[in-house]
Structure 1
Amino acid sequence: MKRRSESDYAEWDELRARVIGLGENSAQKSYYPELVEQMAEQERFRALLDEVPDLILVVSVTDGSVADANDAAARVLGVPKGDLAGRDIHEVLPEALLRSIDPLLAGEGMRLVAESTLGTPAIAYEISARHVDFGGGHYVVVIGRDITERKRTAKLLEDHRRQLEFEVERRTAALSETVIHLREAADVRNRFLAKMSHELRTPLNSIIGFSGVMLQGHAGDMTEEAIRQLSMINDSGKHLLTLINEVLNYSRIEQGSIEVDCESFNGGDVVRRAVHMLEHEAKRRGLVLTERICDECPVIYSDPGKVTQVLTNLIENGLKYSSAGGVTVHADPDDRGGIVVKVIDTGQGIAASDIDIIWHEFRQLPRPEGALSEGIGLGLAISARLAEAIGAELTVESQVGVGSTFTFRVPNLEEGCLLPGRRPAGPEAQ
C-alpha cells in the first residue's frame, strides 16, 4: 500500500477544513460538532418521513424536478427511491393529476386538494399540495393518502342509505294502504252506527214515551208492582237512549262534523243548569251533588251546548265512580275572561298508570266492588273532543282511594268560535 506523503496529508486537512467550515484562519473554533448534529437531525427526519405511510414528494418550483421523496412515494410510483431525486415530475405522476399540480408549479394558487389513482393496481389517493420555502429554495410538497378504506366505508354507507330509503318507501306505501283501508273501515263502521242508532231511537222513543204516559196514570189505574215494573222499563229505555246518543255523537265527531254554535251566555248559569239536570240522578244513587258557583261569573262567548255536554259527562262520570259521598262542582272566573269549572268526586280515584288511557274511546276503568257496569266508555272521549273543538282545556288530577278532580277551562272566544282546538292535557277517558 502506498504511504501518504506529507503533502497528501496537507491537502486532506485543507479539504476537511473547507467542508466543515473552519477556513484557513479558524483554528480556534470548530463547527464540526454542530455539523454532525445537523446531519444526525436530518437522518432522524429522513427516517421519520420513510415511516410515514403517506406518499410525499418535494418538487422544485424552479425546474419541476423531484428534490426529495420518501419510501412510500417510491413504492407507490414504482420507481427506485434513488432514481426519483432529480427526475421531472411529469415523468412520475399521471397526466390527470399533473393538470392540477402544474398551476401550483407555475405560481398560480397556494394549495390544492384532489383525488387520483396511483400505482399498480390502481389505488385511490387523496392528493394535497402546497407551496413551501426552505433552504433558500421554493418547492411544492405533494402528499398522497390512501383512501381505499374511506371509499369502501362511504360505499357501504351509501348502499345502506339506499337500502333504508327503499325500505322506508316500501313501508310508507304499505302504511298508506293500511291507513286507506282503516279509514274506509271506520267510515263504514260510523255509517253503520249512525244508521242503526237512528233505527233504534225511533222505537225506543215510543217505549219511553208510552211508558211515561202510563206512569202518569193516563192509561188507568195500575198496581204497585205494575208501576214498579213500568218504571224499570222507562229507566232502562232512557239509559239505552243515552248510550245510543253517545254513539251518535261519537260517530259525528269521528266524521269531523262537529258544529260549533257560539253565543254570549253567563258561564255560571250554564254550570248551574248542568248540575240541576243531574240532581235526581245523584239522589237515585244515594249521593250528594253540590254546586259552588261564583256570584259574579263572567258572560263568555262560546258554545253553551258543548259546554253543557262536557259538564254533564264529567258530573255523570263522577257519580258513576262514587259509591259514597258525592260530587262537588266549583265554578270561578279565570284571569283571561273565561271560566274554570272543577268537578270533584269522592270516587275510587285513578291510578297513575291509568291516567293516560281514560280519554280513549271504549275504555273504562273497573267500577267499585259491587257496582254495575254502566255506559260504553265514550263520555270522556267525547268530552275531550268537544273541549278541543271550542278551544277549552280538560285535565284531571286524581288520588287512589280519595277521588278525582276534573278541571274544565272554558275560554272567552271574543274573536270568534273557530279557534284551533287544543288536545286535553294529561289524562283521557274514564
Structure 2
Amino acid sequence: MTINMPSDEDLERENRDLRKRVEELELSCKSFKKERDEEFNSKNILVECLLKHMPELVYWKDKHGKFLLCNSGYAKSFGMTVEEIIGKTDYDISSKKKADAFRRSDEKIAREKNPVTNEEWVTSPDGTKKIFETYKAPLYTDKDEFIGIMGIKRDITKQYAKEKELTGAHQQLLSVMEAFDESAYVANPVTYELLFANRAIKKSIGEDIVGNKCYKALQGLDSPCPFCTNHLIFGENIGKTHIWETQNIKNKRWYRCIDKAIEWPDGNMVRLEVAVDVHKEKMAQKALQESEEKYRTYVKASPNPIFIFDFQGNCIDVNPAACKITDYSRRELLNMHLYELFPEEERIHHKDNFKELQLNGKFSGEFAAVNKKGYKFYISIEALELPENRFLSICTDVTERKKAEEELLQAKITAENANRTKSEFLANMSHELRTPLNSVIGFADVLASRAAGEINDKQAGYVKNISHSGKHLLNIINEILDISKIESGKMKLYKENVSVMEIYAEIISTMQHTATKKEIELIIDPWPENEYVYADKAKLKQVLYNLVSNAIKFTSACGSVTIGTKNDGEFTHISVKDNGIGISQEGVKKLFKPFTQLESFKSRSHEGTGLGLALSRELVELHGGKIQVESKPDEGSTFTFTIPKKEGHLTNK
C-alpha cells in the first residue's frame, strides 16, 4: 500500500489557513468583549446617576447585613460618605439597640418575603429631628435564594407638619362656624352624611342631626335633593364658591346658601354650606315683584338674550342680555332687522327660517351670529309666536360649547394621527432593533458551544442567561412589531394551502420538552389527516404556538392539553383545551386586549407581555377568521379559532 504524504507546500498552506481562522476568531471575541464591557459600563453609569439624583435615601444590604450600595443622601444622614458606609453593617454606624432592631426587622422581612412600609423619627448628626417614610423589601433570585434587603427612605417632615397644621386650621374653622348666628354644616358629598352642624342649625333643625343624611335631616326627603349643588362646587369647580337661594321644605323659610368644597382632616373634599335666613327679605322682594309687570320682569331678569320681532322681522324689544351679547345698545337694536344679526353670506338661509316661523308659529336651531365689532359667536334659538303678530326669540350663548366641540374634534384628529405615527414608527424599527439583538444572541450561542474556546461552568451559566434573556427580549420585540405592523396596515400574509397535521407535528415537536418538564400530556384528538387550510403557514404556527404555550403555562403538573380539529366545509375550527386554572368572566372580557395580563402585579407568577393573545386575535382576523374562549375558574379553558379552507374567503360572520 502506498501512502501519499502531504507536501511541505500543502502543510504551509494549511498552517496559513489555520492562523487566519484563529485571527478572525480572536477579532470576533475582542469585538464582543468590547461591546459587553461598554454595555456594562453604561449600565453602571446609569445606576450611579439614578442613585446620585434620587431625592430618597437608598441602600442595599446583603444577606449578612453588610451594605453593598447606598447613595450620598443615605450616607449623609449618618454624617458619613458612601465609601465609609459600603462594607459596614448597622452595628458599625448605629447604636447596638438600633442595630438590633434593624436586624430583627430585616430577618422578619426575609422570613415573610413581604415588603414593609412604616414611619420613623430620625435624629440627624446635627441634632435635627425628621420623620421618614421607610420602605424595605427582601431581594430574592429566580431560584428563590435570599440575597439581601433593599431600603428606600423618604423625608416626609414637611408633609407631616402640613397635615398637623391643616388639622389645627380645621379646628379653628369649626370654632368660627360655631360662633355664627347663621346655620352652617359640613356634609360628605358621596354619602351625604352630616359631619358637622353648628349650634344655629341644631337649634333650628334638631340636636341629633350629625351622622344623619343631610337631605333627610335638613329637608325631610328620602333621597338626595333634586336641587343639590354638589356638581357646581366639586370636580372642575373645586375652589369656586356657589351662592344660591332655596326655600327649606321642612320649615318653608327662604335661605341664601353659600356653598364651597373644602378639605377635611382625613384628606377628603367635603361640602361646606352657610345658610343665611333671608325669608323676610324674600317675602318683601316677592311682594314687590308681583306688583310689577311680569312680562318686563322676566325679560329684564333673564340671563338669556331675548328679542321680540314684529311680523316683518323688525326688532321691537330686547333685554339687557341681548345688548350684551351683540355689543349693540338697546336703541341700535330697535332700529335693526333680525337678518342684520347674522353673517351676510348666511342671511338667505335665515329668510327661509323666518318664513317657517311665520308659517308654523315656532322655530328652533343653533346658528352663527355676528356682534357689532364683527366677531362671530354662536347662539341656540327657541322662537315662538306671540299675540298681535309678534315673535319671541329666547337665545342661549353656546359659543364656548361650540369651541369645546371643535377643540375636541381637533384633539381626536391629533390623537389618531399620533397613534398612526406611533404604529408606523414601531413597524419601521424592525431592522434597527432586531439586528444588534440577534448579534448578541448569536455570539452568546457561539460562546456556549465552546467553539471560541473552553469556558468554565460559571461562565457557561452567564452565557446561557444572556442567550435566554436575549431570545425572550427578541420575542417581545417581535410581538410588539407584529402588533404595530397590523395597526399600521403593513402586515402582509403569504397564503398557501397548508397541511394542518404538519403544523401540529411541528408544534408538538417544539413544545414537547416544555410539557414533559411539567408532566403535562400533549394530546391531538383527532389527528387531522388530509386537512388543509388556506393561510400564512408561519402566522398560523405563531397563533397555535401562543395558545399551546399559554395552555401549558397555566396548567398544573400532571394535567393535559388537547388540540382538536373540526371542519364545517368553509372553515377549519382549531381548538386548544386545557384543565388549568381557568379564567373568570371579567377576565375573559379583557383577555384579548394588548399589554393586558389578568394577574395583579404583586401576585403575577407567569412572565409575559400580555401581547400573545392580542396578536393571535389580530392574525386570525387578518385571515378572515375569528377566535373565542370558553372558561371557568379552576375548570380550565378552551380557545377556538377558525381559518378559511378556501382561497378568497375574507370574512367569517
Does residue 410 (structure 1) correspond to residue 410 (structure 2)? The answer is: no
- The one-letter code sitting in structure 2 at the alignment partner of 1:317 is N
Correspondent of 1:255 among 478, 488, 500: 488
Q: How does 1:312-331 map to 2 (within 5 A)?
A: 312-331=545-564
Task: Give, in whole Å, the separation in 1 of the partners of 2:640 and 2:446.
Answer: 39
Deviates more, 1:360-369 or 1:382-391: 360-369
Count residues with an aligned counterpart.
Answer: 272
Counterpart for residue 299 of structure 2: none
Which shows bigger deviation, 200-209 or 270-279?
A: 270-279
Structure 2 Cα separation of the partners of residues 245 and 167 of structure 1 = 46
Q: Equivalent residue for 2:616?
A: 383
Aligned counterpart, 1:201: 434
3-state DSSP class of the match of 1:219? coil
Verify: 1:344 aligned to 2:573, yes or no. Answer: no
> Structure 2 matches for 1:175-254, cutoff 5 A?
175-194=408-427, 198-254=431-487
- Greater CA drift, 313-322 or 369-378: 369-378
| Distance in 1 separating the partners of 2:523 and 2:645 | 25
> Percent of aligned pairs with the same residue?
33
Match of 1:35 in 2: none
Report how far residue 181 of structure 1 moved. Answer: 1.1
From 361, 368, 371, the counterpart of 2:594: 361
CA-CA distance at 1:190 after TM superposition: 2.6
| Match in the other structure for 1:107 | none
Sort the Cα spacing of 1:193 and 1:160 in 2 relative to 1 into closer, same or farther, 3 A. farther
Q: d(CA) in 2 for partners of 1:180 and 1:195?
A: 22
Change in 2 beyond 3 A, CA 1:192/1:393: closer
Q: Is 2:559 the partner of 1:334?
A: no
Q: Partners of 1:200 and 1:396 in 2: how far apart?
A: 33
Change in 2 beyond 3 A, CA 1:227/1:285: farther
CA shift in 2, pair 1:224/1:316, >3 Å: same
Matched, 1:393 2:626: yes
Task: Please give the alpha-carbon distance, in whole angstroms, between the structure 2 residues aligned to 1:290 and 1:395.
Answer: 20
SS in 2 for 1:398: strand
In the TM superposition, what is the alpha-carbon distance from 1:329 to its structure 2 partner?
3.4
SS in structure 2 at match of 1:324: coil
Q: Could you say what secondary structure the match of 1:289 adopts?
A: strand
1:188 offset after TM fit, Å?
3.4
Q: Residues 168-179 of structure 1 correspond to what in structure 2 (within 5 A)?
A: 173-179=406-412
> 2:453 aligns to what SS in structure 1?
coil
Whole-Å Cα distance in 1 between the matches of residues 520 and 602 of structure 2?
17
Is the partner of 2:420 in helix, strand or coil? helix
Closer/same/farther in 2, CA of residues 380 and 399 from structure 1, 3 Å limit? same
CA distance 1:181–1:283, change in 2 (3 Å): farther
CA distance, structure 2, for counterparts of residue 188 and residue 234 of structure 1: 32
Tell me the C-alpha RMSD between the 2 structures: 3.5
Cα 1:364–1:375, aligned 2, differ >3 Å: closer, same or farther?
A: same
Mark the CA change 1:155 to 1:263 in structure 2 (over 3 Å): closer, same or farther. closer
Name the residue aligned to 1:304: 537
Letter matched to residue 243 of structure 1: I
**Counterpart of 1:278 in 2: which secondary structure?**
helix
CA distance in 1, matches of 2:396, 2:643: 50
Q: Amino acid of the residue matched to residue 619 of structure 2? A: L
Letter in 1 for 2:456: T
Partner of 1:272: 505
How far apart are residue 176 of structure 1 and its match? 3.4
Q: Report the CA distance shift for 1:217/1:199 in structure 2 as closer, same or farther (over 3 A).
A: same
In 2, Cα distance between equivalents of 1:360 and 1:272? 29
Hey, what's the Cα distance between the residues in 1 that align with 2:607 and 2:479? 13
| Deviation, structure 1 residue 199 | 2.7
CA distance in 1, matches of 2:508, 2:600: 23
Contact preservation (8 Å) 2:573, 2:640 = yes
SS of corresponding position for 2:525:
strand
Structure 1: tracts of 5 or more residues without a match: 1-147, 423-430
The CA deviation at 1:171 is: 6.6
Amino acid at match of 2:529: E
Q: Structure 1 residue 155: deviation in Å?
A: 5.3
Deviation at 1:370, TM superposition (A): 6.9
CA distances 1:125-174 after superposition (whole Å, capped 9, x unpaired): xxxxxxxxxxxxxxxxxxxxxxx9x956x659994799899999767644
| Deviation readout 1:350-404 (Å, 9 max, x if unpaired) | 1111211111111111179976442211111111111111111211000101211
Do the aligned partners of 1:389 and 1:421 also contact (CA within 8 Å) in 2?
no
CA shift in 2, pair 1:155/1:169, >3 Å: closer
Question: Relative to 1, partners in 2 of residues 1:265 and 1:373: Cα closer, same or farther, differing over 3 Å?
Answer: closer
Are the equivalent residues in 2 in contact too, given 1:397–1:406 (CA < 8 A)? yes
Gaps of 5+ in 2: 1-357, 367-379, 384-394
Give the residue type in structure 1 aligned to 2:418. A
C-alpha contact 1:331 1:339 (8 A) present in aligned 2: no
Alpha-carbon distance in structure 2 between the residues aligned to 1:296 and 1:277? 20
CA shift, 1:240, in A, is 0.8
The CA distance in 1 between the partners of 2:597 and 2:457, in whole Å, is 36
Q: Distance in 2 between matches of 1:164 and 1:385?
A: 47
CA distance in 1 between counterparts of 2:480 and 2:365 reads 55
Deviates more, 1:204-213 or 1:178-187: 178-187
Q: Is the 8 A contact 1:336 1:411 kept in 2?
A: no
Q: What is the TM-score of this pair, normalised by structure 1?
A: 0.55
Q: CA-to-partner distance for each residue in 1:24-73, whole Å, 9 max, x for gaps? A: xxxxxxxxxxxxxxxxxxxxxxxxxxxxxxxxxxxxxxxxxxxxxxxxxx
Letter in 2 for 1:408: F
Q: Larger RCO: Structure 1 or Structure 2 (Cα < 8 Å, ≥ 6 residues apart)?
A: 1
Deviation at 1:244, TM superposition (A): 0.7
SS in 1 for 2:501: helix
Report the Cα offset of residue 344 of structure 1. 1.3
Structural mapping, 1:135-146, within 5 Å: none
Cα distance, 1:280 vs structure 2: 2.9
Distance 2:636 2:397 in 1: 50
Q: Tell me, what secondary structure is at the counterpart of 1:362?
A: coil
Retained in 1: the 8 A contact 2:572–2:642?
yes
Given that residues 268 and 293 in structure 1 are in contact (C-alpha distance below 8 angstroms), is that contact kept between their aligned partners in structure 2?
no
Distance 2:398 2:623 in 1: 41
Q: Deviations over 1:305-326 (max 9, x none)?
A: 2221111111122233234345
- The CA distance in 1 between the partners of 2:651 and 2:636, in whole Å, is 32
Q: Structure 1 stretch 362-371 or stretch 330-339: which is displaced more?
A: 362-371
